Amino acid sequence: MHRASLLLALIVSLSLSSADTRPNFLMILLDDSGWTDFGCYGSDIHTPNIDKVAKQGMRFTDCHSAAPNCSPSRTGLLTGRTPSRVGMYSYIPSNHPMHLPKTEVTIAHLLKQAGYHTGHFGKWHVAKLLSEQPQPSDLGFDYTLGTDNNASPSHHNPGNFIRNGKPVGKTEGYSCQLVVDETIGWFDQINVGNSDKPFLACVWFHEPHTPIASPPTLVAKYRRLFPKLKKKEATYYANIENVDIAVGRLMDKLNELRIADDTMVFITSDNGPLNAFSKQGLRGKKSHVWEGGHRVPGIFRWPKRIKAGTVNHTPICGVDYLPTICDIAGVSLPSERTIDGSSIWPLLQGKQFTRNNPMYWFFYRLLPSTAMRDGDWVIIANTDDAARPKTHALIASDMQKIKSSTKLQDFQLFNLKNDRAQEADLSSAEPAVLERMKKKLLKFHRGVLNDGPFWDVPTDYAKGKKAKLWHSE
């Protein structure tokens, strides 16, 4: 972490009175959960605990992940920066050089230096654990229980957890409950409720990412309630409810410790879903730059400062989390790098909000590959590399194209206020808007890729894997 950022955080910490009035921060992240998987968003899935959090706080209808897939989205949450600017161009496959660089400043870095306890629990997937790549402790976390990627062999009895740099071995139970067990244990360990230090807890569930495993009693419940559901769908419903039960346990613990009113809770997902029933008519799905790939649930609760029962329709994004938390905690943003997100603290207080940068998504492998949101308008584009077949994992030839020659073309324009399903391309009908959006996108896109690092991917990485065109229409 840079000295200037450390000094600013230290000044903030020293200036606080002994009775620290700053809130705790609890970030709850689901994996591949859709925009409408919770009851408060219109789902048939029973999520009373999450619905209660929404009722006690502010629910956003236009919340977006920082990217349409896993590792990039998590990177955006931690850094407040567009993932490709940081070099997270895709999900991290096994034994790949791509990772969240140690030179990045995370929300955990900033809050730790400002006097916060910092813990991460669940799926990590921004660098390889037990390797020379940056570990959670290098990126600001005091304590961690996590996995490189998905719970293995499934959500039930996973055997790939690593606690503070040491493998845990076989466990018994469902991943979301194990993650909450660890979080609650950490609360007790750091003496939450009686400590002068507030905390940041990132609780990043593996659910409902495949391979899915859910309690049989919950699966049976949904097959009984909805006889037409296939077993796979009932298992998914049960998976979401199991997460809701875990969230309820966390909220109960906050109440038990009498810190619920002093804790800002944020519930969201890392990207859009794979299921059609989880996105309610949006175009696209996970990995796509269409709305269905990155529109996610977004719920904030902080009883002391956020008005209960509020529904907000303003667009927000995962890169907004870091600047928002820094704003609330009184921590200065890093000044030596671009922060793409904007603090939404005014929005959470019911005030006017102005976004500093457009919301932007890029995934080199997909057709189309790029989207930018400015108000109600969204511009969509392909790269000039669109016709080249690509493997699922990022390989050496992809890296060369991203950094050296990828340009945008085939622009489409949509107005989400009137066309949330993105069915009517208005590029011909609105040439002035298209030109304005196109100019802004081209400049922003080039700046992002110019900043992003070049990963030295071995030329034989993914050798023998089939390449194809990844259409998202």
Which residues lie closer than 8 Å to 15 by C-beta, 6 or more apart? none
What torsion do the CA atoms of 93, 166, 150, 215 make, to the nearest 10 degrees? 170
| 358 in a structural domain | no
**pLDDT given at position 196:** 85
The candidate with the shortest Cα–Cα distance to 399, out of 101, 97, 125, is: 97
**pLDDT given at position 16:** 39
| 462 in a structural domain | yes
**pLDDT given at position 177:** 98
Matching residue, tokens 């619905």: 51
Residues 173, 197, single domain; the answer is yes
Tokens of 459: 């030329």
| CATH number of domain containing 201 | 3.40.720.10
Residues 224, 255, single domain; the answer is yes
Query: What is the count of structural domains for the chain?
Result: 2
Q: How many CA atoms lie within 13 A of 421 on its CB side?
A: 5
Residues 254, 114, single domain; the answer is yes
Residues 325, 418, single domain; the answer is no
**pLDDT given at position 17:** 35
| 306 in a structural domain | yes
| CATH number of domain containing 449 | 3.30.1120.10
Burial 252-276 (b: 16+ CB within 10 A, else e): ebbeebebbebbbbbbbbbbbbbbe
Residues 41, 129, single domain; the answer is yes
pLDDT digits (tens, 9 = 90+) for 66-113: 999 999 999 999 999 999 999 999 999 999 999 999 999 999 999 999
Angle at 355 between CA 328 and CA 105, to 5 degrees: 55
From CA 379, how far away is CA 381, in angstroms rounded? 7
From CA 297, how far away is CA 200, in angstroms rounded? 20
| 270 in a structural domain | yes
Burial class (CB in 10 A: 0-12, 13-18, 19+), 169: exposed
Residue 421 domain boundaries? 364-471
From CA 24, how far away is CA 14, in angstroms rounded? 18
Residues 64, 197, single domain; the answer is yes
Three-state secondary structure of the chain? CCHHHHHHHHHHHHHCCCCCCCCEEEEEEECCCCCCCCHHHCCCCCCHHHHHHHHCCEEEEEEECCCCCHHHHHHHHHHCCCHHHHCCCCCCCCCCCCCCCCCCCCHHHHHHHCCCEEEEEEECCCCCCCCCCCCHHHHCCCEEEEECCCCCCCCECCCCCEECCEECCCCCCEHHHHHHHHHHHHHHHCCCCCCCCCEEEEEECCCCCCCCCCCHHHHHHHHHHCCCCCHHHHHHHHHHHHHHHHHHHHHHHHHHCCCHHHEEEEEEECCCCCCHHHCCCCCCCCCCCCHHHHEEEEEEECCCCCCCCEEECCCEEHHHHHHHHHHHHCCCCCCCCCCCCCCCHHHHCCCCCCCCCCEEEECCCEECCEEEEECCEEEEEEECCCCCCECCCCCHHHHHHHHHCCCEEEEEEEECCCCCCCCCCCCCCCHHHHHHHHHHHHHHHHHHHHHCCCCCCCCCCCCCCCCECEECC
From CA 414, how far away is CA 462, in angstroms rounded? 37
Residues 319, 386, single domain; the answer is no
From CA 415, how far away is CA 425, in angstroms rounded? 9
From CA 187, how far away is CA 183, in angstroms rounded? 6
| 381 in a structural domain | yes
**pLDDT given at position 405:** 66
| 72 in a structural domain | yes
User: Which residue ranges of the chain lie beneath pLDDT 70?
Assistant: 1-20, 405, 473
Which residues lie closer than 8 Å to 315 by C-beta, 6 or more apart? 62, 63, 64, 355, 359, 373
**pLDDT given at position 386:** 86
- Which of 348, 379, 397 lies at the terminal end of a domain, its last residue? 348
Residues 44, 145, single domain; the answer is yes
- Which of 324, 348, 372 lies at the terminal end of a domain, its last residue? 348
Residues 344, 453, single domain; the answer is no
Residues 190, 305, single domain; the answer is yes
| 35 in a structural domain | yes
Residues 338, 420, single domain; the answer is no
Residues 137, 52, single domain; the answer is yes
- Which of 348, 381, 413 lies at the terminal end of a domain, its last residue? 348
| 146 in a structural domain | yes
